Amino acid sequence: MTHPLALRMHGVALHFPARREPLRSFKEWAIARLRGRPDSGVFWALKGVDLELGQGDTLGVVGRNGAGKSTLLRLAAGIIPPSRGEVHIWGSVAPVIELSAGFDRELTGRENVLFNGSLLGMSRRQMLAKMDEIVAFAQLEEVIDAPLRTYSSGMLARLAFAVATSVRADTVLLDEVLAVGDQFFRSRCHARIAEMCAQGTTLVLVSHDLATIANLCRRAVWLDEGRIVAAGSTAEVLAAYRGSATPTQACS
């Protein structure tokens, strides 16, 4: 790449412990131990992933459920370290990966804006200056001082997106957040993302909505069982992905 890197993954793999055989009682566990039979194995969520993103790149990540898409974003955000390989990211990162991440359901929406902003490296004064803009974009004027536990999933998604995109981070990581909310709000989200990308923000978007990937991302990768099956232009990768599965699978 001729422009500076925003994200680099080299030989990245991640595994979790996974039980091979369900043990229904302590007696079965004790017998298995006496016989020297292992009662757990390893599940590899990602296997040898190599990926580079330049500053200002827009990348869509597609694949069926369990392919490793959300895990890829968590590694990019620094939430979890890889079991193998290296992950490097340059500049600030704003992840919207789990709707509840970075929020306290007992605090009000307004308090959560300040709290979440601090996690993104913003001062209280900076977030207070952005408060009206964030609340207006999320369309939460009437409930912003209510506890977050009273919010619907759509309201929480609007707040999370509004906060993450208000800080103008160098890289924004989005995991299916655009699938929540009405069509009007999704259109506003698309417009904001397009504006950010035009200003040089790097975007990594995980979505089952292939049309959204096609509209917002210049490049794409297709993950399957933790491996990158295809990488390249969005049109080429989506064509390969659609051709590999039934319509139900491709949209699942």
**DSSP 8-state secondary structure symbol assigned to residue 4:** P
The pLDDT of residue 248 is 42
Gap between the Cα atoms of 58 and 237, Å rounded: 14
The least confident of 8-17, 163-172, 218-227 is: 163-172
CB 6 within 8 A of CB 36: no
Tell me what percent of the residues of the chain surpass a pLDDT of 90. Answer: 52
Query: Cα–Cα distance between 82 and 219 in angstroms, integer?
Result: 24
Question: Phi then psi for 84, rounded to 5 degrees?
Answer: -140, 160
Q: How confident is residue 27, by pLDDT bands cut at 50, 70 and 90?
A: low
Q: Which of 133, 177, 174 has its CA nearest to residue 155?
A: 177
In whole angstroms, how far apart are CA 19 and each of 35, 47, 68, 230?
A: 17, 19, 19, 30
Indicate the pairing of strand 202-206 with strand 171-175. parallel
| Per-residue pLDDT tens over the stretch 86-114 | 999 999 888 887 666 678 999 999 999 99
| pLDDT for the residue 150 | 96
Task: Please tell me the distance from the alpha carbon of residue 186 to that of residue 243, in angstroms, as a whole number.
Answer: 27
- At residue 51, the 3 state secondary structure works out as strand
d(CA 197, CA 169): 11
Q: For residue 244, what pLDDT band results from cuts at 50, 70 and 90?
A: confident
Q: Tell me the pLDDT tens digit for each residue of 2-18.
A: 568 999 999 999 988 76
